[in-house]
């Protein structure tokens, strides 16, 4: 089963690599989302304050 074992190991390595890539994308997207959220919230607060002042 040497060949199969070898192939399985390689396929496992590729799967691991691909999973790492997807996880990396997820992690970066989550960080991106948080930063965007913060910017949107900040904008919203500024907008509300401006609105209150205008009243």
Partner 1 sequence: MKNPFKHLQNQDKSPKIESTENYNLERLLESAEKSAEIDLTNFEKWIEKFILRQKKLLNITKGDLELEYEIYKIKGKYKSEKKKLKSSFLSRLKKIVKYTTGGIVALAFTAHFVQKEYPDYLSKEKEPTKIEWNEPTQKEIKKLSHEYALIMKSDSVFKETPDSIFENRFTNFVATYGPNIEIVHPGDDMSAGNKVYDWIFRWVLRQPSGRAHEGIGGTLFYEEKDLKMKEDSSGYDFQTSSFDDFVTELAHHINNDWGIRRSFAYAYDLVRGGFKQNEMSEDPYSSEYQADIITKDAIIKYLISDENNLNVDFVDIYNVEYEYYRELVKTRGYEKYADIEELSLRILIGKKFDNLIKDKEIIFKNLEKIRDILDGINIDKNLKGDLFSIMVIYFPLENSNNNYESILNQMIGTEKLRK
- Per CB under 8 A, residues contacting partner 1 are 1-4, 6-8, 10-11, 13-15, 17-22, 24-26, 28-29, 31-33, 35-37, 39-41, 43-44, 47
What is residue 1's DSSP assignment?
A: -
Sole residue written with tokens 């590729």: 14
Q: How far is the CB of 49 from partner 1 (least distance, A)?
A: 14
Considering the complex, what minimum distance in angstroms separates the CB of residue 52 from partner 1?
A: 15
């Amino acid at each position: 089963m040497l060949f199969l074992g070898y192939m399985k190991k390689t396929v496992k390595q590729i799967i691991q690599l691909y999973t790492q890539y997807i996880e990396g994308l997820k992690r970066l997207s989550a960080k991106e989302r948080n930063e965007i959220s913060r910017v949107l919230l900040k904008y919203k607060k500024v907008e509300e304050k401006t609105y209150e002042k205008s009243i």
